[in-house]
Amino acid sequence: MAETSNSPALRVDIISDVVCPWCAVGYNQLAFAARRAGVALDIHWQPFELNPDMASEGEDLREHLAAKYGSTAEQSAQVRAQLTELGEALGFTFRFNDGMRIYNTFQAHQLIEWAEERGKGHAMKQALLAAYFTEGKDVSDLAVLVEAAESLGLDGAEAHAALESGKHADSVRQREAFWVQQGIRGVPAMVFNGRHLVTGAQGVENYASILEQLGSAAKAF
């Protein structure tokens, strides 16, 4: 691995949702490529809700995908198998099940912003991805969110109060709106150095190529 201590970190804004499996895959592919190339990343997680109007009780995931995208049960099973395999290769565990539900994530994004103020936004994002995809938890449930905060050594009572008060609600809405105004309609979407947009989970080799191109462009100046 190349030495990175004398190199400035590459800023990457990742627009994503905590119930988006391809967001988990895309980030881990990027992180793997960066570790291999010895590139330091300065990750900034940006909020995006796949289903901002979803009811508090959520929906059955398979039924939701069928209604929203027209996915058949066979197609859904194939994608789940693909995601599970990709995740395993990257060190991320997907545990899909037939009764899995998808939830509203507005409060989850507020929690990430709250944690970011305490230097743990990235860790919180990872904790919530694992809570949903690995542990099968309801990431719209206040108790689950407080538990995630406490798992990172953060004050659960403070997290609970911040979520109950909606302290970060307006900020999250504004940030979501900003990215939609920039043309983001699907996630993951990654913006490198504030100007290079890459959409979708590109794969380790493609991310490695992107990092190499950005590194070469930086050296040209």
Over residues 11-49, the pLDDT tens digits come to 999 999 999 999 999 999 999 999 999 999 999 999 999
Residue at 25 is within a domain: yes
Residue 1 belongs to some domain of the structure: no
* 128 domain-assigned: yes
Q: In 3D, which of 83, 196, 169 has the Cα closest to residue 133?
A: 83
In a domain, 4, yes or no: no
Q: How far apart are the first and last CA of the chain?
A: 24
Name every residue whose Cβ is closer than 8 Å to that of residue 215 and which is 6 or more positions away in sequence: 37, 39
Question: For residue 202, which phi and psi values (nearest 5 degrees)?
Answer: -85, -15
Secondary structure of residue 155 in the 3-state scheme? coil
How many domains does the structure of the chain reveal? Answer: 1
CA-CA distance, 80 to 199, in Å (whole number)? 20
CA distance 68 to 64: 6
DSSP 43: E
Q: What pLDDT does 18 receive?
A: 98
The one-digit pLDDT tens for each residue of the chain (221 residues) are 233 435 689 999 999 999 999 999 999 999 999 999 999 999 999 999 999 999 888 999 999 999 999 989 999 999 999 999 999 999 999 999 999 999 999 999 999 999 999 999 999 999 999 999 999 999 999 999 999 999 999 999 999 999 999 999 999 999 999 999 999 999 999 999 999 999 999 999 999 999 999 976 555 44
Question: Which pLDDT score is estimated for 2?
Answer: 34
Task: Decide if 135 is inside a domain.
Answer: yes
Q: Is residue 33 part of a domain?
A: yes
pLDDT at 221: 45
Which domain, by its residues, includes 170? Answer: 10-219
Burial class (CB in 10 A: 0-12, 13-18, 19+), 73: exposed
Q: Decide if 2 is inside a domain.
A: no
Classify residue 3: in a domain, yes or no.
no
Q: What's the CATH number where 150 sits?
A: 3.40.30.10
pLDDT of residue 219: 55
Quick one: which of 176, 195, 196 has its CA closest to 187?
Answer: 176
Residue 43: partners with Cβ closer than 8 Å, 6 or more residues away: 12, 14, 27, 122
State the sign of the Cα–Cα–Cα–Cα dihedral 93, 154, 178, 49: positive
